[in-house]
Amino acid sequence: MSDMPAGIIGLTPISGSVGKAIEFGQWLNGEGFEPWEHAFVTLPGGLILEAEPGGARIVPCNYSAIYWCTAIYKLLPVDVTDEEFTRVGESLKGTPYSFLDYAALTTHRLHIPAPFLRKYIQTSQHEICSQLVDDYYYRLGAHIFTDDRWAGDVTPAGLYKRDQELRA
């Protein structure tokens, strides 16, 4: 992990019932069943920024099974400095987490009329892991998704599929 440059998104599986629940939520959101339930982004010094139920944190990477989104990484401006990677990571540290975003995304995907959901996702000030890394990239000047999806409409499986598209 220490040989990875700052700014690369990593995807990893989550074991147990939480991982299965996230996988099911991603399936309900139209992403299919993929083995990636958690997303994080690398920072300088072998650290990562990741969303957790207690809030986003910056910690050393302790994951072993990792899919690196190297194609998405190429969307970042080439002139981003380590100081900028760190500054944006620090600005997102502590961002609250909410499993309710999965429910909101699924409701949207199933076309259940609930107009408040878009506002909820965009203004609630909390982010699941994949939303956090998408926000990180946005703050550095990169747009991972170029379709007409809602801001925040992103799952770990969606990041995996986007990286696969960019590789093709």
Asked if the structure places residue 104 within a domain, the reply is yes
In terms of Cα–Cα distance, which of 10, 48, 21 is closest to 156?
Answer: 10
Asked if the structure places residue 126 within a domain, the reply is yes
pLDDT in the model for residue 112? 67
Distance, C-alpha 129 to centroid of its chain: 4
H/E stretch holding 83: helix 82-92
Contact assessment for residue 89 and residue 119, using Cβ atoms and an 8 Å cutoff: no
Asked if the structure places residue 125 within a domain, the reply is yes
Domain span including residue 82: 9-161
How far apart CA 168 and CA 164 sit, in angstroms, is: 6
> What is the pLDDT of the chain when averaged over all its residues?
84
Asked if the structure places residue 106 within a domain, the reply is yes
Return the structure tokens found at 68: 């690196």
Taking only the tens place, the pLDDT of each residue in 55-86 is: 999 999 999 999 999 999 999 999 999 999 99
How far apart CA 63 and CA 140 sit, in angstroms, is: 25
Q: Half-sphere exposure of 15 toward its Cβ, with a 13 Å CA cutoff?
A: 3
Asked if the structure places residue 99 within a domain, the reply is yes
Asked if the structure places residue 34 within a domain, the reply is yes
pLDDT in the model for residue 120? 62
Taking only the tens place, the pLDDT of each residue in 3-17 is: 789 999 999 987 777
Distance, C-alpha 11 to centroid of its chain: 9
What is the domain-level CATH number for residue 74? 3.90.1720
Structural domains in the chain (count): 1
Q: Half-sphere exposure of 43 toward its Cβ, with a 13 Å CA cutoff?
A: 23
Asked if the structure places residue 133 within a domain, the reply is yes
Residues of the chain under the 50 pLDDT cut = none
Asked if the structure places residue 167 within a domain, the reply is no
